[in-house]
Structure 1
Amino acid sequence: MTLLRLFPQGPNDSETALRMLAAHAIPGAEEADIPGRTHARLLHHAGAPVRVTVTFAEDRVAVDLPDETPDPDGLAVPIRHWLDLDSDTARIADDLAADPLIRPLVEHRPGIRLIGYHDEFEAVIATVVGQQVSLAAARTFMGRLVAAYGTPEAGLKTLPTPRQLAAIPDAELQAAIGLTGARTRTLRAVARTWADGFTLAHLTADETRRVLLELPGIGPWTADYLTVRALQHPDIFAPGDLVARRALGSVTADQARTSAERWAPWRSYALMHLWANAAYAAPGRGGTRA
């Protein structure tokens, strides 16, 4: 195996990063081992899928690659981007801690990062499949998609490409995954859009939100979530997110939006703190009141 060592800028909350990746891991496409502190998946590199295993430590991320990987150092940049290792978490934590409402969470997890997706299309379809269902149900649906249409590689499977997914008839896709008819149509509409060459890359946050809302079946929460997770934009909040609103004391969407204004230009990181405190806390570590 070839080993890369990646060092993050600033404090690094490796526990939350690992637990977030594990919570969203697609059965058959990813393998998460929380006790072993590893996460494995396939990344597209040099024209082919490569099995990548990242191991989290407090001060670094070790990346294991097959010895036959061409240009292994070329994977360092996309992995750093995926795991948000180049963000200055010390500065972000200092800025957010100035607000007394979010300060306890920042002090509890000063090195939280904006974990994204390696592949934009994967981010979009995983989010569409996960609309209005639990995280466990979303993983089940995505696992069925991979089992039915993924391509085996190095003990895992790739997700279907946009063109492959767009070519599957609605009835077949719905039967294979178990989605509602409306959600199946949204999934195929997204696949057709990306199969035509569309990408969110280089769009502003406002442009991204507008384009996503034009797609059938995509609402404000999905557009906001994807701007945070797919684009890794640092200053987006999702006022309609129920987890975040509950973490803020079961406030309304308008109240959540008003609270978030104080966290600019790091509203996405504040949202990550709220999510981590509610959903990704280690057993026994507990949550902290915002």
Structure 2
Amino acid sequence: MHQDTEACYRAVKSKDRRFDGVFYTAVRTTGIYCRPSCPAITPKLANVTFHPSAAAAQLAGYRACKRCLPDATPGSPEWDLAADVAGRAMRLISDGIVDRDGVDGLAARLGYSTRQLNRVVSSSFGAGPLALARARRSQTARVLIETTELSFADVAFASGFASIRQFNDTVREVYAATPTELRGRRGRTSASGSIVTRIGVREPFAGTELLGFLALRAVPGIEAVDLEAGWYERSLDLPHGPGVVRIDLRDRPAGQVPCRFALADARDLAPALERTRRLLDADADPIAVDEQLGDDPRLAPLVRRRPGLRVPGHVDGFEVAVRAVLGQQVSVAGARTLAARLVDSHGRELDLAGQHQVTSLFPAADALAGIDPEEIAMPRARGRALAAMAAAVADGTVALDRSADRGEVRDSLLAVPGIGPWTADYIALRALGDPDVFLPTDLGVKHAAEHLGIDDIARHSEGWRPWRSYALIHLWSGLSGQTNKES
């Protein structure tokens, strides 16, 4: 969109929050870049340029606006809609893979050469993987500076910088302020051992409905919910150690979701944030979704009742896959009970200081790959499917981290004995962030179709493309949320 100057400028003049994260506005006269909804006086068209990423604006010599914090915006909804190589690369960069494995490691995960990947990513985002990773590091550093008591040296290395000098230079360049000045401007700090921040979302955001969906499926040990207080908590298995996130989904500022992280290693803040964003479906464009689904007179009442409904994602693709297998042919409550038993018998103790309601990490893929199906209180065929799927994830045959093409992932899942279309598509819905999944054979969907007077739900759903995943959540949430056979 950044190439359509007139459309971008109209969005800037209207302060339209929908375009935050879709493009960035750079102002020549001030040398800063902003989000489209920045409350400052709209600059003249002749004085602005538009960029597809914060990194592209930084490469052009602009620094971040101190008023609107453009690096804290939602991501582009196109990343999930297209799910092309550039979008998948951006997800992995946000997860910190460049800091851990370098650009070569990122390219290997995506199946591209380093030169090809640089060309593809630069053409989409106006900056290569290294520049995008640098922009992410600067955002992580700002969060740590403003919300923790960590020394600046610890902040530098936790954010992924190679040296304190590089950290200082980047912070001054991006924010036009020293680390000391950033820390001096902060408000309250976090509780000891925790990091408090906010994840940007586009409004409307149906946080209460998302909380209800997660509460219905919460597995004791790895998840906890307080519906009255409006929070959801869960454990995180991160690259450098365990973590816990608590998300406030009810009482929140407009356009933001408050989160509190407890991490064994501060270097895991970036992946913890990215995985929480996936859980929240933070980059969705709810207005575009609701406008299209609301055009269907059968679905319109559900859309009006729950504007901004999100597709609940997940923090761990493997966990989704296991719970999908456990949920085959059983109720939500039954699947939750089976998952709790699996966590109790094969989960890992959460060794993390602080007060948390969660106590365990979900079992690792290699641990479940060697499980004896006879040990699991479920039909043998389903137990064998669980072990086979775990083995496929453990050996890399199936990639559930959003690095691979969705069609290829679906094919690899269907090749696993005991994994059928419903299970593969449910995994795509929650683990891969596919916005256009539909489950016409699901019991809850059939009940909803009957209630709405739709005879052929599979054919009727074609009119909901490319947002059928959101239509599916509307059907489950609005009519038969407790009867579908999913976990």
Distance 1:255 1:205, change over 3 A: farther
Distance 1:110 1:191, change over 3 A: same
Distance 1:161 1:68, change over 3 A: closer
Q: Paired residue for 1:191? A: 390
Q: Does 1:10 align with 2:211?
A: no
**Alignment counterpart, residue 216 of structure 1, candidates 417, 428, 440:** 417
Q: Give, in angstroms, the shift of residue 94 of structure 1.
A: 0.9
Aligned positions of 1:50-69 closer than 5 A: 50-57=243-250, 59=254, 60-66=256-262, 69=265
Which structure has the larger Rg over C-alpha atoms?
2
Q: Paired residue for 1:38? A: 231
Query: More deviation in 200-209 or 25-34?
Result: 200-209
Alpha-carbon distance in structure 1 between the residues aligned to 2:257 and 2:456: 38
Alpha-carbon distance in structure 1 between the residues aligned to 2:405 and 2:439: 16
**Alignment counterpart, residue 97 of structure 1, candidates 290, 294, 299:** 294
**Alignment counterpart, residue 266 of structure 2, candidates 70, 73, 86:** 70
Query: Per-residue CA shift, 1:5-26, capped at 9, x if unaligned?
Result: 1231121001110011111111
Contact 1:240 1:253 in 2 (8 A): no
**Alignment counterpart, residue 249 of structure 1, candidates 443, 450, 457:** 450
Query: More deviation in 1-10 or 57-66?
Result: 57-66
Query: Per-residue CA shift, 1:63-104, capped at 9, x if unaligned?
Result: 112376504651322211221111111111111111111111
Query: Per-residue CA shift, 1:161-206, capped at 9, x if unaligned?
Result: 11111122232x32xxx11111111110111111112314344443
Distance 1:195 1:205, change over 3 A: closer
**Alignment counterpart, residue 220 of structure 2, candidates 9, 16, 27:** 27
What is the percent sequence identity of the aligned residues?
36
Q: Paired residue for 1:260? A: 461
Alpha-carbon distance in structure 2 between the residues aligned to 1:140 and 1:43: 20
Q: Paired residue for 2:381? A: 182
Distance 1:181 1:250, change over 3 A: farther
Distance 1:90 1:159, change over 3 A: same
Q: Which has the higher contact order (CA 8 A, sep 6+)?
A: 1
Alpha-carbon distance in structure 2 between the residues aligned to 1:161 and 1:119: 10
Contact 2:399 2:409 in 1 (8 A): no
Aligned positions of 1:159-174 closer than 5 A: 159-171=362-374, 173-174=375-376
Contact 2:381 2:418 in 1 (8 A): yes
Q: Give, in angstroms, the shift of residue 280 of structure 1.
A: 4.8
Code of the residue aligned with 2:435 in structure 1: it is P
Q: Give, in angstroms, the shift of residue 270 of structure 1.
A: 0.5
Alpha-carbon distance in structure 1 between the residues aligned to 2:299 and 2:261: 38
SS at match of 2:216: helix
Code of the residue aligned with 1:53 in structure 2: it is R
Q: Does 1:149 align with 2:342?
A: no
Code of the residue aligned with 1:261 in structure 2: it is E
Alpha-carbon distance in structure 2 between the residues aligned to 1:170 and 1:110: 43
SS at match of 2:330: coil
Gaps of 5+ in 1: 282-290
SS at match of 2:320: helix
Contact 1:234 1:267 in 2 (8 A): yes
TM-score scaled by structure 1?
Answer: 0.89
Code of the residue aligned with 2:380 in structure 1: it is G
SS at match of 1:28: coil
Alpha-carbon distance in structure 2 between the residues aligned to 1:160 and 1:66: 20
Superposition RMSD on alpha carbons, in Å?
A: 2.2
Q: Paired residue for 1:284? A: none
TM-score scaled by structure 2?
Answer: 0.54
Q: Give, in angstroms, the shift of residue 46 of structure 1.
A: 4.0
Contact 1:245 1:252 in 2 (8 A): no
Q: Paired residue for 2:47? A: none
Gaps of 5+ in 2: 1-193, 353-357, 483-487
SS at match of 2:234: strand
Query: More deviation in 121-130 or 75-84?
Result: 75-84
Contact 1:92 1:266 in 2 (8 A): yes
Q: Paired residue for 1:138? A: 335
